[in-house]
Structure 1
């Protein structure tokens, strides 16, 4: 396509991902937050991944041929590690200890790439042999992580439609990472490899849209909680301010508390430690000017009568 090696499907994904990034830039400009920044970085990585993987290798590229593979593989490794980081940071989906999953994952992937791909390729000159040698340990590690991840989030104690959807989409994202090495060793089939990987981005994008709609659906409920006084309520209506002081995770915890779930059950549903739920709850109570959970529920229920 265009006299390059890029396949039309890869070019299509490149366009779609670019539109999503521009859309995110527009909204992040209206309401800056670390959440938008993380998603923006994820989107930009996918754009770079599609562009480098689609247009490279090419005969017109300056420098040694292997440099093109260093670029494409480096981008792919960075993207995969960042997807795991994103799931951990945004949704508190912790499968292994944070350092083990992020820092060591990056070290393991980079070391494997250098020792099992670059070195064998420089010695033998065989791209296929280097790919196979590199793919074996990476594939094993990826599928072990996918198995642990699946077991960790597949059985919530109190199923919630929103949480269940998020978990399933998260599994699709991690599954795409696990399948990438296999797609790579099969051959240069861009329509297959880039479809698998872009599914991860579209799954996470769907999660974010679904979470936004979930918050809108519960907007009135949360509004009643934070409009504790009539004066505050009037000011909130005039300014159209709705629970902006809470993080997105705190809103999820607050909604769970209002559903009379215990901290233990909230922790199981959101796949976080009970101490983390308690910490979020303390922040919620502080921001809503109440002393504890009992006062939080009492004041809210009083508003509902």
Structure 2
């Protein structure tokens, strides 16, 4: 397409991702939502992924071809690690036991690329050999991670349709990451590889839209909570109320607290540790000027009845 190696499907995903990112940026400016930053970074990474993987490698570009492969693989690895980071930070999906799991995941991914791809290529000068030596073990690691992730969040103790939808879409995103090495081994079929990876972005985008709708549905419960952080504003429109001073995760937990759920129930419902719920709750109480859960319920639940 356009005299380059980019396939029309990849170009379509590139354009669609640009539109989504521009819309998200517009919304973040309109609603003054700093919480969308991670999503914008994710979208920008997908744009770079589609562009680099679509247009590269190209014989029209001077220099060693391996440099172009380093760029495309580097962007792909960064994107995959960031997707996992995004799921960890936005939804508190602590799948692995150690706190530095994201850092270790990045070390394994980039270290494996150097040890299993670049070094073999230097000795064999064969891209196919280097690709096979790297993608096979990475595929095994990716599917082990997928299995752990699936086991961690796929069996709800307290079914909540909002959380169930989020978890299913998150599993789709992680599955796309696990399938990427296999798609790479199969060959340079852009319509397969880029379709699989962009599904991960669209799944996360659906999660974010669903999350916003969840906030809107619960705005009556949260109105007084956010209003307490906007004392100097006389007239508050809907977008300002929804986006108060709480993070999106704190907002979700605030809804659960106002629903009179225990910290243990909230933890089970959101698939996070009870200590994590307690930490978020402390931040909520601090931001809303109350000392504890009882005072929070007394102050805000009464006003929402």
What band does the TM-score fall into relative to the shorter chain? over 0.9
Tell me the residue number matched to 1:260: 260
CA drift of 1:290 comes to 2.9
Q: Which moved more, 1:118-127 or 1:183-192?
A: 118-127
Q: Which moved more, 1:280-289 or 1:60-69?
A: 280-289
CA drift of 1:303 comes to 2.3
The Cα offsets for residues 183-202 of structure 1, whole Å up to 9 and x where unpaired, read as 00000100000000001100
Tell me the residue number matched to 1:96: 96
Alignment partners' CA distance in 1, 2:239 and 2:214: 18
Alignment partners' CA distance in 2, 1:180 and 1:188: 12
Tell me the residue number matched to 1:139: 139
Alignment partners' CA distance in 1, 2:298 and 2:219: 19
Alignment of 1:203-242 (within 5 A): 203-227=203-227, 235-237=234-236, 241-242=240-241
Alignment partners' CA distance in 1, 2:232 and 2:222: 12
Q: Which moved more, 1:234-243 or 1:282-291?
A: 234-243
TM-score normalized by structure 1?
A: 0.93
CA drift of 1:238 comes to 6.9
Whether the 8 Å CA contact 1:9–1:191 is kept in 2: the answer is: yes
The Cα offsets for residues 64-122 of structure 1, whole Å up to 9 and x where unpaired, read as 11111111000000100111111111111110146542111111111111111112122
Alignment partners' CA distance in 1, 2:211 and 2:238: 23
SS at match of 1:102: helix
Alignment partners' CA distance in 2, 1:23 and 1:234: 27
Q: Which moved more, 1:277-286 or 1:27-36?
A: 27-36
CA drift of 1:270 comes to 1.5
Alignment partners' CA distance in 1, 2:301 and 2:256: 15
Q: Which runs of 5+ in 1 are unaligned?
A: none
Alignment partners' CA distance in 2, 1:57 and 1:73: 11
Whether the 8 Å CA contact 2:258–2:301 is kept in 1: the answer is: no
Residue 124 (structure 1) aligned with residue 119 (structure 2): no
Alignment partners' CA distance in 1, 2:77 and 2:239: 42
Tell me the residue number matched to 1:47: 47
Whether the 8 Å CA contact 2:35–2:247 is kept in 1: the answer is: no
The Cα offsets for residues 212-261 of structure 1, whole Å up to 9 and x where unpaired, read as 11101111221144557xx9699354797416011111111111112221
- Report the CA distance shift for 1:280/1:201 in structure 2 as closer, same or farther (over 3 A): same
TM-score normalized by structure 2?
A: 0.93
The Cα offsets for residues 254-290 of structure 1, whole Å up to 9 and x where unpaired, read as 1111222110111122222212211221222233333
Q: Give the number of aligned pairs.
A: 303
The Cα offsets for residues 169-192 of structure 1, whole Å up to 9 and x where unpaired, read as 110111000000000000010000
Alignment of 1:235-250 (within 5 A): 235-237=234-236, 241-242=240-241, 244-250=244-250
Q: CA RMSD in A?
A: 2.1
Whether the 8 Å CA contact 1:227–1:233 is kept in 2: the answer is: no
Whether the 8 Å CA contact 1:227–1:236 is kept in 2: the answer is: no
